[in-house]
């Protein structure tokens, strides 16, 4: 694969740990049936019961998602999610300096195999640079990509291709993403690539002009993304910046010219798959986490649905390709979501009512007039709920109208929340493809990139 010179390997002193070796399935010749990892006597499709070398990895991160989100989403959808049959294990998420991680420390652990302090990206607690699994893959000639519904410079995507002491330094992160020559970058955050003279956040640098000089094609709308065609083997790259800041929440995306997460994922895979040396792609469903912070159950479920559509694109490609490992795992849980809330004498959960909610709590709160006398009209416009007198009064008198709206909607769905921040609970990991079985059991978030590196046969931390 053509790559410009100057990508330096980073040294982190990371030791690879070997995963359990699977049993090769017997049966007909290779050409006569499914890949050797697809199962054998007693095996299930996608269980990864083989030791076949992986050519591509698609790392799907639903930020803020855990088993309670999965449970509520299954009931919201009315059937199993695409990842349910590929459940493998659980992993811990604590950071180097706290039992509850933030996305920077969690992303760093999931990208490098090393713990760091909250707020830090791509550096260990002493400030030493850590090589990421994406960088290690690129150093072996593989193509690389990052996709997110946040700014592409936000903590989780940034953790795979940048190294900064403060996650909020998104202008420095933008510079490093281009310096690292990530082949496909799709998300929000155009302002972080433009100079202040053009309304951006860079002091003087125009990173979009720099990106064009480096062979990036810039796309800024859904239509432009769907029409884009780049030749990875010829050194062409793709930069999609679809909003000045983050993309719109899923339930408001149709009112914009922004692509869906599934469309970005499909486009990224289509571009990266041209590389004969394989590819490493990270895809983040960023706003599941933001919905958790807001205790907005409808936003959480609808952005989870958007993330599932993206996972379906990844697994469909993996099924056809036969040499692609798809790994799905959140970086932490957000909001302390529960499946069931309140006294609940009927012992029931009813998240399906959230399908009729068409706006986030933040959006509804912004529609309230100064004295909030239109609260009933606003709620009836964006939900099928008729507020009781006490519920309307609660919203009218609340210090935080959005949180009050979200609490009432969550109560209708019998979904509870214990926090407006992250929690320390363990996170499920799902995997499909060759060597997927190596994610089985009780793991730590630092184990995930080590297993991926072993599956790809690349050295991580050299």
> What are the C-alpha distances in Å from 190 to residues 4, 194, 199, 207?
24, 7, 10, 9
CB-based contact 245:151 (threshold 8 Å): yes
Burial of residue 34 (CB within 10 Å: 0-12, 13-18, 19+) is middle
Q: How far apart are CA 107 and CA 104, in angstroms?
A: 5
Q: How far apart are CA 147 and CA 337, in angstroms?
A: 26
Q: How far apart are CA 111 and CA 262, in angstroms?
A: 22
b/e per residue, 190-219, with b = 16+ CB within 10 A? bbbbbbeeeebbbeebebbeebeeebbbbb
Closest residue by Cα to residue 292 from 338, 334, 250: 334
Phi (first) and psi of residue 253, to 5 degrees? -65, -30
> What are the C-alpha distances in Å from 201 to residues 105, 267, 381, 403?
24, 27, 36, 30
Q: How far apart are CA 155 and CA 12, in angstroms?
A: 20
Give kind and range of the element (H or E) at residue 359: none
Phi (first) and psi of residue 391, to 5 degrees? -65, -45
Q: Which two tokens stand for residue 252?
A: 């408001």
Looking at residue 251, the DSSP 8-state letter turns out to be: G
Give kind and range of the element (H or E) at residue 157: helix 155-158
Q: 431 by DSSP, 3-state: which?
A: strand
Q: Which two tokens stand for residue 228?
A: 């884009």
Q: Which two tokens stand for residue 86?
A: 């590929």
CB-based contact 189:151 (threshold 8 Å): yes
b/e per residue, 390-412, with b = 16+ CB within 10 A? ebbebbeebeebbbbbbbbbbeb
Positions marked active-site = 103
Q: How far apart are CA 462 and CA 460, in angstroms?
A: 6
Q: Which positions ≥6 away from 310 have C-beta within 8 Å?
A: 60, 260, 261, 262, 264, 265, 283, 285
CB-based contact 27:250 (threshold 8 Å): no
């Amino acid at each position: 694969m053509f790559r410009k010179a100057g990508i330096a390997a980073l040294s982190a002193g990371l030791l690879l740990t070997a995963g359990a070796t699977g049993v090769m399935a017997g049966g007909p010749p290779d050409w006569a049936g499914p890949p050797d990892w697809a199962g054998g006597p007693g095996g299930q499709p996608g269980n990864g019961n083989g030791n076949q070398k992986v050519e591509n990895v698609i790392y799907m991160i639903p930020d803020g998602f855990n088993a309670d989100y999965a449970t509520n989403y299954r009931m919201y959808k009315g059937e199993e999610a695409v990842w349910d049959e590929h459940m493998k294990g659980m992993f811990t998420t604590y950071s180097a300096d706290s039992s509850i991680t933030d996305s920077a420390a969690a992303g760093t652990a999931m990208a490098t195999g090393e713990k760091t302090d909250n707020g830090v990206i791509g550096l260990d607690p002493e400030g030493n640079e850590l090589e990421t699994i994406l960088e290690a893959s690129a150093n072996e000639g593989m193509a690389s990509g990052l996709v997110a519904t946040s700014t592409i410079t936000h903590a989780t995507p940034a953790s795979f291709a940048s190294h900064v002491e403060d996650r909020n330094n998104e202008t420095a992160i933008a510079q490093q993403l281009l310096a690292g020559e990530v082949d496909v970058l799709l998300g929000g955050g155009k302002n972080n690539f433009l100079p202040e003279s053009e309304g951006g956040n860079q002091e003087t640098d125009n990173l979009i002009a720099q990106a064009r000089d480096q062979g990036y094609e810039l796309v800024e709308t859904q239509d432009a993304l769907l029409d884009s065609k780049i030749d990875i083997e010829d050194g062409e790259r793709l930069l999609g910046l679809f909003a000045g800041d983050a993309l719109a929440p899923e339930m408001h995306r149709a009112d914009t010219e922004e692509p869906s997460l599934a469309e970005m994922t499909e486009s990224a895979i289509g571009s990266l798959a041209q590389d004969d040396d394989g590819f490493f792609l990270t895809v983040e469903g960023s706003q599941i986490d933001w919905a958790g912070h807001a205790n907005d159950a409808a936003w959480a479920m609808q952005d989870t649905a958007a993330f599932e559509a993206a996972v379906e694109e990844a697994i469909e490609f993996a099924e056809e390709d036969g040499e692609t490992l798809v790994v799905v795992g959140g970086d932490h849980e957000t909001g302390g979501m529960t499946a069931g809330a309140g006294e609940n004498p009927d012992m029931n959960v009813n998240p399906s009512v959230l399908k009729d909610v068409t706006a986030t709590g933040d959006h509804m709160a912004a529609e309230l007039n100064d004295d909030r006398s239109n609260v009933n009209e606003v709620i009836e416009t964006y939900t099928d709920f008729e507020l009781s007198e006490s519920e309307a009064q609660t919203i009218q008198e609340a210090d935080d109208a959005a949180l009050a709206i979200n609490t009432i909607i969550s109560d209708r769905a019998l979904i509870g929340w214990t926090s407006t921040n992250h929690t320390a609970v363990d996170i499920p990991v799902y995997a499909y493809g060759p060597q997927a079985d190596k994610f089985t059991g009780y793991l730590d978030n630092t184990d995930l990139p080590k297993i991926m590196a072993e599956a790809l046969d690349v050295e991580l931390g050299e």
